Chain A
Amino acid sequence: QKEVEQNSGPLSVPEGAIASLNCTYSDRGSQSFFWYRQYSGKSPELIMSIYSNGDKEDGRFTAQLNKASQYVSLLIRDSQPSDSATYLCAVNTGGFKTIFGAGTRLFVKA
């Protein structure tokens, strides 16, 4: 079992729709959870971090964490073509070692 699992996609949504990206992790001791966005050929860019159960909203982005289910998600409201990228779920199990998922490719169709 992979430590951090994501559906590779591609996930295709129309412009203006809600994109829902999901991630599960295996280590119950995980403490910090991150979503990075990576455009092709570019560096991963941190867009959301979440540390406690529940929802965290930042503009059009909402991160949701459920530690009991070992599940973290990212919702993107009013999706724009510029949101098209690979979204990486990352989990920190304590210390400084962050485990990444393989990423989900998102396409937002104009």
Chain B
Amino acid sequence: EAGVTQFPSHSVIEKGQTVTLRCDPISGHDNLYWYRRVMGKEIKFLLHFVKESKQDESGMPNNRFLAERTGGTYSTLKVQPAELEDSGVYFCASSPLGALNTEAFFGQGTRLTVV
């Protein structure tokens, strides 16, 4: 069974450009999460989808970040326009619908560098 996959694995863009990250969760997982780790800091929660609905987007840094999950399958996270402080590793995770304390499976992450 395929795990959580993320694309691209690396992205280098210039300040002011737009970047779109993609996450394909494990098949059948209704919960999908986005996290970010900036250099030297802890992994920070960005938002949570249940199917196509945003349940909690309290961790989104600002309105330059837009996450979507049309159809409740894969998700995209767009950063527009990108700023230098957006550099970091963006992780996606998924888990099946069920008990609140279910554990999530992480993707390999997308390393974003804004220059």
Interface string of A8-31 (1 = CB under 8 A from B): 000000000000000000000001
Q: How far is the CB of B22 from chain A (nearest CB, A)?
A: 15
Contact B101 A51 (CB under 8 A): yes
Chain A residues closer than 8 Å to B45, beta-carbon distance: 97-99
Q: How many residues of B contact A (CB 8 A)?
A: 25
Residue among A95, A96, A99, A102 facing the most chain B CB atoms (10 A cut-off): A96
Choose among A44, A88, A92 the residue with the greatest number of B CB atoms under 10 Å from its CB. Answer: A44
Which of A42, A45, A97, A101 has most chain B Cβ within 10 Å? A97
Contact check, A34 vs B103: say whether CB atoms are below 8 A apart.
yes
Which of B12-20, B64-72, B78-86, B106-114 contacts the other chain? B106-114
Nearest B residue to A6 by beta-carbon distance? B42
In whole Å, how far is A48's beta carbon from the nearest beta carbon of chain B? 10
Q: Which of B43, B56, B106, B109 lies in contact with A96, CB distance below 8 A?
A: B56
Size range of the interface on A?
20 to 34
Q: Distance (Å) between the CB of A90 and the closest chain B CB? A: 8
Flag whether B62 is at the interface (Cβ < 8 A).
no
B7 within 8 A of A: no
> Which residues 38-71 of A have a CB within 8 angstroms of B?
42-46, 49, 51
- With A43-B91, A43-B108, A97-B48 already in contact, the answer to whether A4 and B42 are too (CB < 8 A) is yes
Task: Report the separation of the CA atoms of residues A85 and B29 in the bound assembly, to the nearest whole angstrom.
Answer: 28
Among A42, A88, A92, A99, contact of B101 (Cβ-Cβ < 8 Å):
A92
- Among A4, A43, A102, contact of B106 (Cβ-Cβ < 8 Å): A43
CB distance from B115 to the nearest CB of A (A): 20
Given known A43-B108, A88-B43, A102-B41, contact A31–B91 (CB-CB < 8 A): no
**Could you list 5 further interchain pairs (A-B, Cβ under 8 angstroms) beyond the known A44-B91, A96-B100, A99-B45?**
A92-B100, A95-B56, A96-B55, A97-B45, A97-B56
Q: Which 8 A-B pairs have the closest CB atoms?
A: A32-B101, A100-B43, A102-B42, A43-B106, A43-B108, A44-B106, A96-B48, A100-B42
